[in-house]
Chain A
Amino acid sequence: MTFLLQHLNYVAVIILMMLGLFVTFAGGNLIKRMIGLAIFQTSTGLFFISLGKVQGGTAAITISPTSPEAKALAAQIDPATLAQTGVNGVVYSNPLPHVLILTAIVVGVATLAVGLAIAVRIREAYGSVEAADIAARDRVPLPGQPAEPLV
């Protein structure tokens, strides 16, 4: 039971990843694919953050060990663990995954915008953002005339 509870987070994150992957692969619509990619990307972030959580820890903003907040936190944790994993008598969660994911989110929205901009140009050139329509227009030129040039 404890083993299951300890690994349930990873399973949930992987289910999110599977949903993102499925939408990215199956969605014929380019915008829908970008949304799937966004879910995929967040799932990676959630996985990193899950790994960085420390039982009984607090956000990685250093507080004085004599402050009432620090004492209230310390009261919830077994003193042996506190001595081993705490910094100055306070247990913090791992800040490193937070740094990586924070910047990844902002970079993610910027790259999402680039992807969407390409989708907009595809719409203007092909008249559709459905992958099937685009492939069909690429393959068969309209009867009696050469394939339309890209704008």
Chain B
Amino acid sequence: MIFDPNLTLNFILLAMLVIVAGFVAATRSLLAAIILMSVYSLVSAIWLVVMDAVDVAFTEAVVGAGVSTIILLGAILLTRGEVQKPKLSKLIFPAIAAVISGGLLIYAAMDLPGFGDPASPANAYVGHSYLVSTPGDIGAPNVVTAVLASYRGFDTLGETVVVFAAGIGVAILLGFGERAATAAPQPLDPTGDHNVVLRVAARLLIPLIALFAFYVQFHGDLGPGGGFQAGVILSVAVILHALVFGLRETMRALKPGFVRAVAALGVLLYAGVGIVCLTNGGTFLDYDFLFDRDTEDAIPSGLLGDPDAIHHWGQHFGIFFIELGVLFTVAATMVTIFYAFAGRAPDAQKEAR
């Protein structure tokens, strides 16, 4: 057995994940559990890089360690309270259920192909064929983006709609944050301004975060990244603004109605690309039919630098537009969700007094 640094790192990180998850299960403080979940996401993002899943690692880092922590914190602000000390007798049945199902799964897992086996059914057939055919079919170097946006574009449309629907669901349950917009402004702190450093740092960071989001967006087919990651990063820029300058200020700059419209526009753009492909004689989301022959010939071959390279313009622009749709929907939905949770806070404060 040769020493493999990647395998060792894999086991160390997995052990850390189990330990952190164990503490999440054990702690009675919700705040501690949420911060530990943030740590858990960050560790699993590092583990995903070791597993070569760079796109997933990116998503896990921005979603798990970033946005979901903020949403969970917003939720405990609105619900308050500690976890009650559970009776020991109430823990026995859940423990038995977890151990039995886990034991059965471990028993079954022993029949799985070994870790890293290139000949396993999952890796040898479907996965391999995507790797072989992507350069010829799509022309995008990032195979994950090619599968996500083109081969399985219909799945991704479904997922984008689910994100959109979840945003609507949260807005229906908690409102659009309009209460924050109408609430009286917070009185100024008479002891002076304590947030100068935060405000100066945020003013510098917000444009950079937005710029990084667009970099991630437009390099999605060349390297790790894409609409989902970029959308979440873009929403983080807005959320940071709201956390530092107050929700009222952010809502004045970025109206909730506008954000909702953008979320709907994203799904419309995605589905619209599919419809254009249909009208040009292809199947739904078959980007090879995005442009008719004449338009495709009219595109200068040097548009993306190398004039000699073979370009699949339909695929290239199809992926570009649907990733833009994903960016709009994901970013706007995350902001809507944040508005909904944060906009509910004035009520909670009133109640507490």
Q: Please give the residue numbers on chain A whose beta carbons come within 8 Å of chain B beta carbons, in ascending order.
A: 1-3, 5-23, 25-32, 34-36, 38-39, 42, 45-46, 49-63, 81, 84-85, 87-88, 91-99, 101-103, 105-114, 116-121, 123, 128-130, 132
Asked if B22 is at the interface of the complex by the 8 Å CB criterion, the answer is yes
Contact status A11-B109, CB under 8 Å: yes
Q: How far is the CB of B243 from chain A (nearest CB, A)?
A: 17
Tell me how many residue pairs across A and B have CB atoms closer than 8 Å.
312
A-B pairs with lowest CB-CB distance, top 10: A6-B114, A94-B127, A25-B94, A110-B166, A55-B116, A18-B102, A93-B52, A26-B94, A10-B109, A85-B118
How many residues of chain B are within 8 Å of chain A by beta carbon?
A: 110
Which of B139-147, B196-204, B284-292, B293-301 contacts its partner? B139-147
User: Among A29, A55, A97, A108, which residue has its beta carbon within 8 angstroms of that of B117?
Assistant: A55
Q: In the bound complex, how far is the Cα of B83 from the Cα of A62, in angstroms? A: 49
Contact status B173-A121, CB under 8 Å: yes
Q: In the bound complex, how far is the Cα of B119 from the Cα of A81, in angstroms? A: 10
Contact status A85-B52, CB under 8 Å: no
User: Among A14, A23, A84, A129, which residue has its beta carbon within 8 angstroms of that of B25?
Assistant: A23
Nearest B-chain residue to A111, judged by Cβ: B166
Residues of A within 8 A of B95 (CB): 22, 26
User: Among B41, B76, B109, B163, which residue has its beta carbon within 8 angstroms of that of A107?
Assistant: B163
Asked if B249 is at the interface of the complex by the 8 Å CB criterion, the answer is no
Q: A18-B99, A62-B143 are in contact. Are A7 and B173 (CB under 8 A)?
A: no
Contact status B170-A117, CB under 8 Å: yes
Contact status B68-A95, CB under 8 Å: no
Q: In the bound complex, how far is the Cα of B116 from the Cα of A5, in angstroms? A: 11
Contact status B68-A109, CB under 8 Å: yes
Q: Please give the residue numbers on chain B whose beta carbons come within 8 Å of chain A beta carbons, in ascending order.
A: 1, 7, 10-11, 14-15, 17-18, 21-22, 24-25, 30, 33-34, 37, 40-41, 44, 47-48, 51-56, 59-60, 63-64, 67-68, 71-72, 74-76, 78-81, 83-84, 86, 90-91, 93-95, 97-99, 101-102, 105-106, 109-110, 112-120, 122-124, 126-128, 130-132, 134-135, 141-144, 147-148, 152, 155-156, 159, 162-163, 166-167, 169-170, 173-174, 222-224, 228, 231-232, 330, 333-334, 337, 340-341, 344
User: Among A5, A26, A97, which residue has its beta carbon within 8 angstroms of that of B91?
Assistant: A26
Q: How far is the CB of B227 from chain A (nearest CB, A)?
A: 9
Contact status A106-B228, CB under 8 Å: yes
Residues of A within 8 A of B44 (CB): 42, 46
Contact status A12-B14, CB under 8 Å: yes
Q: In the bound complex, how far is the Cα of B7 from the Cα of A50, in angstroms? A: 12
Residues of A within 8 A of B340 (CB): 117
Q: In the bound complex, how far is the Cα of B2 from the Cα of A56, in angstroms? A: 13
Contact status A16-B18, CB under 8 Å: yes
What are some 15 contacts across the A-B interface (CB < 8 A)? A15-B102, A38-B37, A51-B122, A53-B51, A55-B116, A61-B223, A96-B127, A98-B53, A106-B159, A110-B167, A116-B75, A117-B169, A120-B174, A120-B344, A123-B78
